[in-house]
Structure formats: structure tokens, C-alpha cells
Amino acid sequence: MEIGSMAPASSAILQLRNIHKRFGQLEVLRGVDLEVKQGEVVCVLGPSGSGKSTLLRCVNLLEPPEQGEIFLEGKDICRGPESGTGEQSWELNFVRQRVGIVFQQFNLFPHKTAMENVTMAPEKVLGKPAAEAQAKAAQLLERVGLADKLNEYPERLSGGQQQRVAIARALAMGPHVMLFDEVTSALDPELVKEVLDVMRELADEGMTMLVVTHELGFAREVGDKVVFMDEGVIVEQGNPADVLDSPRQERTKKFLGLVLER
């Protein structure tokens, strides 16, 4: 495997430098710098349209940035010769074997059971034998509290259950970093906790997590760092208590005020 240029010495597992991304006329990210350390939980807050989700999607190259650098475990994953799609395959493989993502809309495969959703990628991508993939999947689904739903199809599961299957599906690939893109936003209020609980356990076990969320309680309790974004830039970041309780920037204060008013 080729070696990209190395990041300067740093304990960061993930480093973003000056990330820019535009969709047509709209510049969604306007120079974002961010560091995530091994085992750290970083929560990204911000109003809708602030570029939070796009930032996550840049990290696993679903939306490769146009400008800037991303270092994953010291390897530059954004450079390399242009291919047809602007994505370089070795970078993709490198990234997607190390970074898992969970989406707001779950995106489970509706024609597959919970078990098959989890085993598909390990079997097709990693070439694991079916028995091994199934044993691992059963273990993961048990861990997210769905041991009795192995053979259910997604449409028979609640939103919270579907989202937990989606987490198990991402974990099945053995990621080093997990991205969560507003994973509780599409859930009924009473289902939010079961998903956050799973994420909390994952954090306790030392998983490195980048979490876009509107759950301030989760950010405060589980987050090691809180990042506030607005209009495509990071406005403020720091430890959760500082940012949430005594924000220094006006925009942060205004946003937190609006969220807490609810």
C-alpha cells in the first residue's frame, strides 16, 4: 500500500485541515480544522445548514472535500491522482475499513433481515466465511439489545431498533472511528434513549467517535469535546462544560439559547 505524506507528530487519530466543500454556488464548508484523539468523543453542534453533516461525510469520503487535508491515523486520505470520480480507490478502502458511519435515516437494507444487514459487508467486502460473520453479527446485535430480533426485516422494527441494527452493522466492519450523523433526529422521543445508551456504552469502551447531534445532554455527559459550527466554520470548541455553560461567542450563545428554550 502506498504511503501518503505523514502528518506532523500528533496523538490525533483524525486530523482535518482547512477543509472546503461547495455544492454548486453554495460553499458549505469554509475552512474547517479539527482534531480527534484516539478514544475521544467529539460532539458537533450547530444549526441546520451549518455544514455539520457535510463535515462527517467528508471524513469518510462520501463527499470528498475540494480543498484541505484529512489525516486518518497519520495517513493523508484526500490526496492522490484524480480518478474518474475524484475518489482514489486505495484511499476509499483505507478509510472505509477504518471509519464506520451511522445515518439519520438508518438506511438499513429493507430486503435483508437484521442479521443479513450486519453480515453483508463482512462477507462481501472482507470475505469472511458466513458462519464467522453470523456469529459476530449475533454477538453485535446482542450487544445493542436485539438478540431476539435477528431474523426480523427492518420494516418490522421500530426506529430505535433499526438505528441500533445500523450501529451493529457499522461495528461489524471493525472500525477505528465511528461517525454518527444526527442518529436520533428521526426517532420518536421515547426511542431516543435506547440509541443514546448504546452510543454511551460504545464511548465507555473507548471507541473514537465524531457525533453530530442536537442532544445537548449527551454532548455534556459523554462528549470529551464539543464543537460548535455555523455557516461552514467552527465557531467555538472546547470541553463540554465550557462551551455549553459559558460560551464565549455570540453565535454559540444565541444557538444554545434557542435550543434550551424548547
Partner 1 sequence: MQELINQYFDVGFMVDHFDQVLEGFWLTVQLSIVAGILSLIWGLILAQLRQLPGKGFLPIRFATIAYIDVFRGIPLLIMILLISGSIPSLEFLPEWLRIPQWFGKPDNFWFGVFAITITYGAYMAEVYRSGIEAVPGGQMEAARSLGMNHRQAMRNVILPQAVRKVFAPLLNDFIALMKDTTLVSAIALSEVALAGRDLQSQFLNSSGLVLGAIMFLVVTLPLARFVDKLIAREQGRFTRGAPRVEAL
What contacts 157, CB < 8 A, 6 or more positions away? 114, 149, 165
The Cα–Cα gap between 206 and 40 comes to 8
Q: How many CB atoms lie within 10 A of CB 217?
A: 11
Confirm or reject binding of residue 71 to partner 1 (CB under 8 A): no
Confirm or reject binding of residue 103 to partner 1 (CB under 8 A): yes
Query: Interface residues for partner 1 in 26-45 (CB under 8 A)?
Result: none
CB 149 within 8 A of CB 161: yes
Chain-centre distance of CA 83, in angstroms? 25
Nearer to partner 1, 36 or 243 (CB): 36
The grid cell for 256 is: 444554545
Q: Looking at 38-46, 120-128, 144-152, 207-215, which segment touches partner 1 (CB under 8 A)?
A: 120-128
Beta strands in 38-112 (DSSP E): 41-45, 67-72, 75-76, 99-102
In whole angstroms, the minimum distance from the beta carbon of 130 to partner 1 comes to 14
Confirm or reject binding of residue 130 to partner 1 (CB under 8 A): no
Q: How many CB atoms lie within 10 A of CB 43?
A: 27
In whole angstroms, the minimum distance from the beta carbon of 122 to partner 1 comes to 9
Q: Looking at 71-79, 100-108, 136-144, 239-247, which segment touches partner 1 (CB under 8 A)?
A: 100-108
Q: Looking at 72-80, 90-98, 198-206, 207-215, which segment touches partner 1 (CB under 8 A)?
A: 90-98
* Residue ranges in contact with partner 1 by CB under 8 A: 53, 60, 62, 83-85, 89, 93, 96-97, 100-101, 103-105, 107-111, 120-121, 124-126, 155, 159, 166, 169-170, 173, 186
